[in-house]
Amino acid sequence: MPASRLRPMRLRWAWGGDGSGEDYPMAFPDSVKDAAFKRSGGRCECGRTSHPKHPRGRCPTAISTQSVDYHHVRSRKAGGPDTLANCEALCRKCHKLTKSYGR
């Protein structure tokens, strides 16, 4: 009696390519970035009270077009669109504290 054929297990993730460390690109169009920056009035738009820097409200950090990070409120990985409504103009420190930083 021959042994039944073994099927090799295949592990493949639905995204992220081959896991070689390729960055998932942030892709807000310039028009959205411009609008988000204008909306921010030059100040970080973060209002997360969990951030130690501004526990009572909006972050006081000034941002410039050089230092701003555009954050996907709903991450692209979770299907968030590249629209103004899904875009937050954040300072780098706040951006790094968001749960979906880098995604």
- DSSP H stretches of helix in the chain: 30-40, 92-97
Please enumerate in sequence order all residues whose Cβ is within 8 A of that of 28, keeping only pairs 6 or more positions apart, or say none: 36, 70, 72, 82, 87
46 binds Zn ion (CB under 5 A): yes
Given 32, 36, 59, 68, the residue binding Zn ion (CB under 5 A): 59
Termini Cα distance of the chain: 52
Task: Check binding of 43 to Zn ion (CB under 5 A).
Answer: no
Stretch that binds Zn ion, among 26-34, 56-64, 69-77, 78-86 (CB under 5 A): 56-64
Residues that bind Zn ion (CB under 5 A): 44, 46, 48, 51, 59, 61, 91, 94
